[in-house]
Structure 1
Amino acid sequence: MKYFKFWVKEPFDIRVGNQVETIQLLVGSNVSKAVAAEEGALRAKVIEQRIAEQQPKPLNEYDAVIKEHVAQIIDDKNIVTVCRYGAKIWNTTQYTILDLDHYRKGWLDIFKPLRKLSLKERIVFKFEENLTRYPQLGGDFRIYETAKGIRVICRTYLDPAERAHTNLLHKLHVDWLYVQLSNKQKCYRARLTPKPYRMRIKTIKLKTPLDCETQVYEDWAKDYEYAAQQFSVVRLVKAIGRDFSREPAIEYHDQMANLTRGCKLA
């Protein structure tokens, strides 16, 4: 999981053939904005050199940085960022988080009591059924209902960058785009606050982490946070195995998601 606390977006002049071109670079640092600017100048020089020598970008530089404003650092394995539409997002390398909106149907399902269950109940049923099939998931889970599906927090961490774990997530019917993002960013993500449109308030569009430093964002965030108090993001369905609800990141998740409020899910 790679993230930065400080960001700058600045123009840099580079030579392309016989001309000077201006490029805009968004650069981050965990030290200061001044250090980020220095890194930007160095990066511009590297880009200029690669163009001159017609060198491709090394594959190891394609690891995705979380280009979002860091709102909270819980610890070295858990941070909270602000996504492009303003919601708070938990990013973790401590837990495996599964967002399940569907379940994989099998022909044997006709012999199981699935027809009497709601979609979300079916998803939970199928997940529990898979636990004996995939012991690598561990034995400790917190299962939540969300507005559209089910969120499972597994106490066992499975590195999303490993192919075997990517394949496992696909077998569990985890959303394909979510799996790819987890793989690239080397962490799992979970939304902590409601989607604005579900609360019927104006949605903001944040193009870079720097947008969170503007007065426009601060004014919007006040209205958003006030509205969010009337909604919950999750509702606990059940816990399996050992209780890990008192671990700091889980407590933070439950509190930010308004778990105990029992409000409408959004």
Structure 2
Amino acid sequence: MKYYKFWVKESVKINVGQSAEFVSILSGSNTSIEDARLELAKQSRFVEQKINGESPADDYEVPIKEHVEQVIDEANIITVCRYGAKILNTCQYTVLDLDDYPIDFFDMFRAVRKLPKKERIVAKFLQRLTKHPELGTDFRIYETTKGVRVIGKKYIEPAGKGYATLMRSLRVDWLYIILSQKQQCYRARVTPKPYRMKIKTIKVTSPLDCETQTYQDWAKDYAVAAQRFSVVKLIQTVGADFSREPVIRLHDTLCNEGRSRTLA
């Protein structure tokens, strides 16, 4: 998982064939703003090479281009996403948001077909555990607005062999799979979506937007409204209870889990 605490965004000149064009480049550093500017020069050269059909050395791990709200530890951070909600990024736990479930032919003859959708998602996930012991044995299963969130204590490496096939067998969203592979971590939204709370939304186009007064004023109103909602509600635990682990406690606190509030 790669992230940066300092960002710069500048317009730089790129040579494209026999002409020159200006492009906007966002660059980050964990050292300082000045270091981020030095990295920007390297990135502009990289972009120039790509445009001109050259093959510069590429880093497969894509950085998380979001404002870092909190660094919990080396494996867990909280960032602000494009619509202002806070996101837990983790390479300590496996996080799966399931809005659907795998369908088997024989389900039509089983009791699972009569269950409400969210209960079916949980039931089908538990069935899959017997077929995929590599997922581990310890899980926390939560209800979300549209489906189910599963947090597994065992970390499944997104860059590992067979990862995409495993995730698709559980009906994990394809875009989420790709993002997990590129960023080499899992993401879990821990504060409500603004539109579900019926408050003014905001568009965060880069980490630098979170340094503006406009964003900071919005964030105060958003934080107040968010206290009236929950992101998840715990359904059940499977295996050993790891709820007291610091990151899980923070996840549950930020999500307002257990407060019997409307999911958003």
- Shorter-chain TM-score: which interval? over 0.9
Residue from 239, 247, 250 that aligns with 1:249 = 247
Deviations 1:14-33 (CA, angstroms, capped at 9, x unpaired): 44455554332110000111
| Code of the aligned partner of 1:123 | I
Counterparts in 2 of 1:10-25, with a 5 A limit? 10-16=10-16, 19-25=19-25
- In the alignment, what sits opposite 2:30? 30
| Code of the aligned partner of 2:213 | Q
Q: Secondary structure, in 3 states, of the residue corresponding to 1:13?
A: strand
Residue from 70, 76, 79 that aligns with 1:72 = 70
- In the alignment, what sits opposite 2:8? 8
Task: Please provide the CA RMSD for this pair.
Answer: 1.7
- Report how far residue 202 of structure 1 moved: 1.1
Q: Secondary structure, in 3 states, of the residue corresponding to 1:243?
A: coil
| Code of the aligned partner of 2:78 | V
- In the alignment, what sits opposite 2:147? 149
Deviations 1:31-75 (CA, angstroms, capped at 9, x unpaired): 111110111123334555x379751343x3343211000001111
Q: Distance in 2 between matches of 1:15 and 1:156?
A: 47
Q: What is the aligned residue count?
A: 264
- Most deviating of 8-17 and 206-215: 8-17
Are residue 55 (structure 1) and residue 54 (structure 2) matched?
Answer: yes
Contact map agreement 2:50 2:56 (CA 8 A) in 1: no
Contact map agreement 1:16 1:51 (CA 8 A) in 2: no
Deviations 1:103-127 (CA, angstroms, capped at 9, x unpaired): 1111111222123311000110111
TM-score for the superposition, normalised by structure 1: 0.94
Q: Secondary structure, in 3 states, of the residue corresponding to 2:253?
A: helix
- Report how far residue 153 of structure 1 moved: 0.3
Q: Distance in 2 between matches of 1:66 and 1:134?
A: 29
Q: Secondary structure, in 3 states, of the residue corresponding to 1:223?
A: helix
Q: Secondary structure, in 3 states, of the residue corresponding to 2:258?
A: helix
Residue from 174, 182, 185 that aligns with 2:180 = 182
- Report how far residue 144 of structure 1 moved: 0.2
Q: Percent identity?
A: 56
Residue from 100, 114, 121 that aligns with 1:116 = 114
| Code of the aligned partner of 2:178 | Q
Deviations 1:116-149 (CA, angstroms, capped at 9, x unpaired): 3110001101111111111001110000000000
TM-score for the superposition, normalised by structure 2: 0.95
Counterparts in 2 of 1:126-137, with a 5 A limit? 126-137=124-135
Q: Distance in 2 between matches of 1:31 and 1:52?
A: 29
Q: Distance in 1 between matches of 2:47 and 2:176?
A: 31
- In the alignment, what sits opposite 2:236? 238
Q: Secondary structure, in 3 states, of the residue corresponding to 2:113?
A: coil
Deviations 1:197-254 (CA, angstroms, capped at 9, x unpaired): 0000111111111000101100110111100000000000000111100111101100
Q: Distance in 2 between matches of 1:52 and 1:161?
A: 27
Contact map agreement 1:12 1:24 (CA 8 A) in 2: yes
- In the alignment, what sits opposite 2:202? 204
Q: Distance in 1 between matches of 2:90 and 2:253?
A: 16
Q: Distance in 2 between matches of 1:129 and 1:85?
A: 35
- Report how far residue 13 of structure 1 moved: 3.2
| Code of the aligned partner of 2:55 | P
Unaligned ranges ≥5, structure 1: none
Q: Distance in 1 between matches of 2:102 and 2:85?
A: 29
